[in-house]
Amino acid sequence: MIRSLLRAGAAFVALSLTLGSLPAGASDEDAQNALVLLKRCGDAAPVQVAQAEASTSPSPTDSPSPTPSPTPRPLVGPPSAPGGPQILVPPPLPTTTPVPPPPLPTPSSSPGSPPPAIIQQATIPPEPTAVPAVRPSSGPVVRPSPSPSATPEPGETLGPNDYAILGDHLTGKNTKGEPEDLDGNVTILYQQGVLGGDHAHYDGKRYIDMSGHTFVRNSAGDTVFYADGIRFDTLTQNAILINGHGESTNGVERGKLYFKGTTMVTDHEGVTHVEHANLTTCENPRGGYHIESKTLDVYPGDKAVAKSAVLYLGALAVLWLPIVVISLRQDEQGSRRNPGFVPIVGYSQAEGFWIKARIGFSPSDYYYGYYRVEEYTKIGLGLGYVATIRRKDGRRQTDINAYTIKNRIDGSQNTNLAINDQEFFSRTTRGQVALNYTGDYGPLTTLPAQYTINAAVDHADVRGDHQDYSFSRTSTGSLSATDNYGLTDHLQLSQQLQNDLALSYTTSSSGGYYGVAGGTTDTLHFQTLTHYVGRSYDYELTYDRYDSNSQTNVQKEPELTIRPLTNIFPNFKAVPITTQYTIGLYDDPTANIQTSRAEARMQLGPALAHFLDSDFSAQLTVQQDYYGTGDEKAQIGQLMTLTTPVWDHVVNTISYTESQVNGPLAEPFKSLDVLGAGLKQANDVLRLFNSNVYTFSLTATTFFNRQAQAVGYQITSQPSPRSTLLIGGSFTPGPGFGFDRTNVQIATPFGYESDLQFATFIDWHNHMRLESKNIYYRHIVGECYELRASYNEDLKQVYFTVTLLAFPSQAANFGIAQSPTLNSVIPGSLTSAAFTYGAAGGGP
C-alpha cells in the first residue's frame, strides 16, 4: 500500500498511528498525535504532517456489554492534491510489544533490493554486563517482549529505500520546515537496521537527534550498539553515536566481540566507523586483553579493521601495529583472510630468540593478505608478503607468497617465492601457471636454489571430452635441469567406449656431481588406453612406447587386459571369485629382449565364517605367467584371520600370511615380474580392555625361522575425561636385548582450565634415560584466550603463542606431535626458519 502511494508521486507521506501503549492518563489529543513519519530515502525537504480524524468509540456507559470489534485494516483517504500528502489510518497495535522485525539481507548478500520490513516498534535490547554504558537516570520502563508463540499483528511494510519513525507522543507543529519532537518508545526503521530511544527531535530539515536509552541494532540482529545519544541523517541514512559501545556475534565462534569509541557512525550499508576505538573478545578486558586503536571499521559479515592499534594484556601495552585485520567470515578460504595480530615468540638453538608477526591488509574482497615480519637474534630480519588477488567476476585468481631473509652469519640473501595464477578463459577452457623458487632451506642448511614452473591449459565439452596441454621446467642451480612438454586427450566415444591419449617430450641435463658424469637425455613417450565395458567383460587395450637415448622403461606393444564382470563359476556363490587375463607384446631394453607374455590372475575371497563365537576370514590369490621364451612363473598368496573373544574383556586375533613363488627370479625381463622370496608370517594379538578406561595389547610375531622375535606392547588409558596415558614399545628375548625404547605420552589437567602434555622415550639400555622430550602446556585466561607453550628437546625449540577463543578454527593445530607451521614456502621437512603461523588470534 505504501509503495503504491510512493509510486503515485507523493514526496512525503504522513501517518497517524494510535498506539496501544500510551502512558497512563493520556488524552485523546495525545492519541491523535501518536504518529509514524514515512519518508523516501534522500528527500531533504521538511516533512508536512497531516493529522487524521480521531475515531470515537462508545464509552462503557453507552454499552454495558461491549463486544470487541474486528481489527480495522488501513484506509487511504482521498488526496488533497495530486501527488500531495496522503492520510493512512493503520490498525491499533497490541498492548504487548511485538516481536522485532525480521532481519534484512546484508550488503554482501545476493544482488537486488531486500524484501520490505514490517513496520513494528522494537524493544530495547538488554545492556551487556561486560561494558557498562552511561545511561540517563530517568526514562520509561522497558516493556517485556512477548512469548515466542505470540503472533504479531499484521502491519504495513517498509520498502528498502524508505525509513519509518514510530513513537507514542508528538509535540510541535506539523508544518513544513518546522521542528517537532517524539517521546516514548521512539523507533526508527531503515534499510540496515533499527534505532531506538526515549526521545527524538527533528530539526525540520535533515537530522533527527535521539536520547534516552538509545541503541542501534543491525538488520541481521547479531550486532547491537548503545550510546549516550544518536543523530540520524535522513538524507544519507547514517546514524552517528556519541560515546557508543556495542557487541556482536557476527563471525565469532565463541563469546562476543565487544567494541566502543567516542564516536560511531553507521552508514546505510551497515558499515560502522569508530573513532578512538576499544576492541576485545573478553567479557572482562582488564583480566584479558584489549586493543586500543585510532580508528575501527566494522564491515558486517566481512572483517573488522583497526588502524594504529596498541595491544594490551590486562593494563600492560605489549605491542603496536599499524593495522589489525580480524575476519568475520564463517566460510574462510585459508588463513590469508585471518592474518592475526598476536605475534609468537620462541627460541631455537640454530636461530636464537625470535619473534614472528603478521600485519594484515584487506582493502576489498578481491585483494587481501598480510606482511610477515620475523626477527631472529642469530640469523637476522626476515620479511614476507602473502596476498590473494581476484577478479570481481571470479574468472581469475592470483596467489603470491614471498619471503626473504639476510643471514647475518654468512651475509647471504636467501629468498623463497611461490606464485599461482588460475584463469577461466571461457566456460570450457581454463589455465593455470605456478612458479616456485626456493633459496632458503632453513638454518644451517645451504643448498643450490631450486626453480620450478608449471603451466597448463585445459579444455572440455559437455559430452565429457577434454584436452590438456602442459609445460614444466625444474632446475637446481647449475646441477640439473628438466623440461617437459605434455599433451593428453580424453575422448568419450560412448557410454561403453572411451579412449585416452598421452604424449610427452622430456629433456634432462646434468652438469655432473659426486663423480657422476653429466649429460643430456631426451625422451619421447607415447601412450594410448582404450577402455570398453561390455555386458560380461571389461576390456583395456594399452599401447605404451618410449623413444630415448637412455632407454630403461619396459614398453607395451600392445597389452590387452580382460576382466569378467560376472562370476565364472555361477554355481559357486559362497566365496566371491574375481579373475583377470592379460596378454601382450613387451620390450625390455634393460634385458635387450622382446617377447610375448600372458598372465592369468584369480582371487578367491575373502571368505567369511562364524563359529563358536569366533570370526574367520580367508583369501587366496593365484597368479600364473607364461612368456614367449618358454619361461614360466607362478605366485600363490594366502591370508587367514581368526578373531576369538575369550571373555567379555579379552579378545584374541591370530593372522597368518604366506607367499610362495616358483620360477626364475628376473627372467626373461629384468624390471617386469621380478619375483621376491617366499614368506611365512604369523601374528597373535591379545587385547584386554574395559570400555574406554584402559586397553592393553600384546603382539607376538614369528617368521618360522627358529629365531625369537620381538613382542610389542601398548597401553592406552583414560583415567578421567581430561587425562590420557599412552605407553608403547617392544621386548626382544635374548641376552643383550630385552626392552627397547618405550614411548610414553601423558595428557593431564594441570590446574584450573589448564592442561599439560608430555611425551618422551625411556631408554632402558642407558640407565632409563628420558630422551626426545616434548612438553606442551595450555592455559585459558578469563574464558577469552589461551596461552600455549611448548618445548622440543631434539630441536632445542621453545614456542609461546596466544590463541583467541573467539576464533579457534583460525588457529593452527598445536600439541604433541604437531608442528606450529602453516602455509610455508619451505619444503615440508625443512621448515624451522621461515614458517607462517595461524590466523586471527595469533595461533602459530
pLDDT tens digit string along 439-469? Answer: 988 877 888 999 999 999 999 988 889 999 9
Show the cell assigned to 530: 582404450
| The predicted structure's pLDDT at residue 804 | 80
**77-86 residue pLDDT tens:** 233 333 322 2
Are 622 and 612 within 8 A, CB to CB? no
Residue pair 17/90 in contact by the 8 Å Cβ criterion = yes
**Taking the chain, what is the end-to-end CA distance rounded to the nearest angstrom?**
57
Give the H/E segment covering residue 258: strand 257-266
3-state DSSP assignment of residue 286? helix
Of 197, 238, 194, which is closest to residue 216 (Cα–Cα)?
A: 194
Separation between Cα atoms, residue 188 and residue 182, nearest integer Å: 11
Please choose, from the candidates 760, 758, 755, the residue with its C-alpha nearest in 3D space to the C-alpha of residue 722. 755
* Residue 343 · residue 321 · CB < 8 Å: no
What gap in Å lies between CA 212 and CA 215, rounded to an integer?
A: 9
What per-residue confidence (pLDDT) applies to 829? 28
Amino acid at 783: E
Closest CA to 339 of 326, 323, 322: 326
C-alpha pair distances (Å), 480 with each of 115, 345, 472: 64, 39, 14
At residue 567, the pLDDT reads 75
In this predicted structure, what is the pLDDT of residue 238? 86
pLDDT of residue 121: 57
Bridge partners (DSSP) of residue 473 are: 453, 483
Residue recorded with cell 511494510: 157
Show the CA angle centred on residue 804, arms to residues 224 and 382, nearest 5°.
125
| pLDDT for res 164 | 83
Neighbours of 409 (CB within 10 A): 11
pTM: predicted TM-score of the whole model, two decimal places? 0.67
DSSP secondary structure code for residue 6 in this structure:
H
At 237 the pLDDT is: 83
Strands 12-16 and 87-89 turn out to be: parallel
For 708-768, strand residue ranges (E) read 711-720, 723-732, 738-739, 742-749, 754-763
Nearest Cα to Cα of residue 272 among 311, 249, 312, 306: 306
Contacts by 320-323 with C-beta closer than 8 Å and gap 24+? 321/357, 321/359, 322/359, 323/359, 323/360, 323/361
Please state, in angstroms and rounded to a whole number, the distance separating the CA atoms of residues 576 and 605. Answer: 5
pLDDT for the residue 250: 81
H-helix or E-strand containing 370? strand 367-376
Question: Residue 515: its pLDDT value, please?
Answer: 53
pLDDT at 808: 61
Angle at 120 between CA 115 and CA 126, to 5 degrees: 105
In the chain, which residues have pLDDT < 50?
1-118, 129-155, 332-334, 811-844
Residue 336 has a pLDDT of 64
- As given in the structure block, the three cell numbers for residue 299 are 564491515
